[in-house]
Each structure stands twice: as structure tokens, then as C-alpha cells.
Amino acid sequence: MPRNNPILTYTNTMFYPLAPRTDEVKTEDIAHALSQMCRANGHFKSFYSVAQHSINCAQEAEARGLSVRVRLACLLHDASEAYISDITRPVKYFLEDYKKIEQNLQKVIYSKFGIDNLTSMELRQIDEIDNALLEYEFKNLHHQGFQKNPPPIFSLPDVSEKNMASVEHEFICLTRQIQEALQQLKGTVRIEAQKAI
């Protein structure tokens, strides 16, 4: 696909949503954009950002005892929205081209962070957490859930209205913290593999 019609990101990066490259993906851009985007297409009773949702998803993954990879993926599962925004689920269902663009962009983002080989089980865990948080958020921020028997939540999600800059900073710090944990884990695996030789 031709690399035309870029967007200019927060870090002054020329980013091509239809033909993205990993070197153009920046944590700072993702954190900044997502911290200023409201969940539920802006229909919650108070401002609650996609970045805050993502942080809560990562913390929920940790509370469930899931892997570092899944924690990082939960934090980044909506990162494509930093570059192409989002569309409500009922409408997105009919937009095949949009979904393909979103999936490709998300794959590039995961690749940037070294988690592009997520298994079907890991992807299912991410979806389960995303959906559980969605129900929790609507119940607490819209005072109305969708399900009679909502899925359990193992963490204590913070859905209070927070300053955008503070959420942006928290997102960046958590990204780096989980990345460091992932690198340490990979280093441990390499050492154990060398010992086994």
C-alpha cells in the first residue's frame, strides 16, 4: 500500500496509518492521544479516557495472575485508536475496510513492543478483560450495565475523573515498567536455555 496521506503526531512524527512502520510508533504519541480520548464515544457521565481504561485493563491482567505479555498487550490493545480514532461497536461491525486497517495497525504496534506473536489463548484473555472492564465502566460511569450477571473483576479499577496529563504520565511509566519486566523475563529464559545446553 502506498505511503501517502500521513498524520502529524504529538511528537511531530509523520505517521502513515495505512502503511505504518514500527519505528514511527511512539509510546509518547499513544499515551498523549489516548489520554485525551473519551471512552463510550463521549457518552459517559464524566470524562474517562481510553488511556485510563487501558491502564485498568493492564492492572486487571496482573490481578488475574496473567503473563507479562498479556499485561503489556492489555495496556496497548486500543493503541491503534491513537492514530485512527475509534468507531462504536455497532457501526464498526459493518466497516470491513476499517477493521482491516485497525488490525494491521495493531499488529505493527504489538510488533514494536515485541508481542506480535500473541497466542489465541492470550488474545482471548485480552478480550475477556476488555469486555469485563466495559461492563464495569458502564455500570459505574453510566449507572447502567448491559448484563444481568456481569463478569467478575479481580482488581479495583479507578474510574474517577482524572487529569489528562497525569493519566498520560501514568500510561508512559506503566508501559516502561512492563517492558522492563518483559526484558528481564526474556533474559532469564535465555540464561536458562544456555544452562540446558
Q: What is the pLDDT of residue 135?
A: 95
pLDDT score of 187 more than 80: no
Beta-bridge mates of residue 8: 14
Q: What is the pLDDT of residue 189?
A: 55
48: burial class by Cβ within 10 Å (0-12, 13-18, 19+)? buried
pTM, full prediction? 0.92
Q: How far apart are the C-alpha atoms of 156 and 63, rounded to whole Å?
A: 9
Domain ranges of the chain: 7-196
Per-residue pLDDT of 10-36, as tens digits, reads 999 999 999 999 999 999 999 999 999
Per-residue pLDDT of 33-53, as tens digits, reads 999 999 999 999 999 999 999
Q: How far is CA 71 from CA 95, 101, 150, 187, in A?
A: 29, 24, 22, 18
Residue 81: which pLDDT band, with cuts at 50, 70 and 90?
Answer: very high
Percent of the chain exceeding pLDDT 70 equals 93
Give every CB contact of residue 136 below 8 A, 6+ residues apart in sequence.
150, 153, 157, 159
Write down the CATH number for the domain with range 7-196: 1.10.3210.10
Element (H or E) spanning 7, and its range?
A: strand 7-8
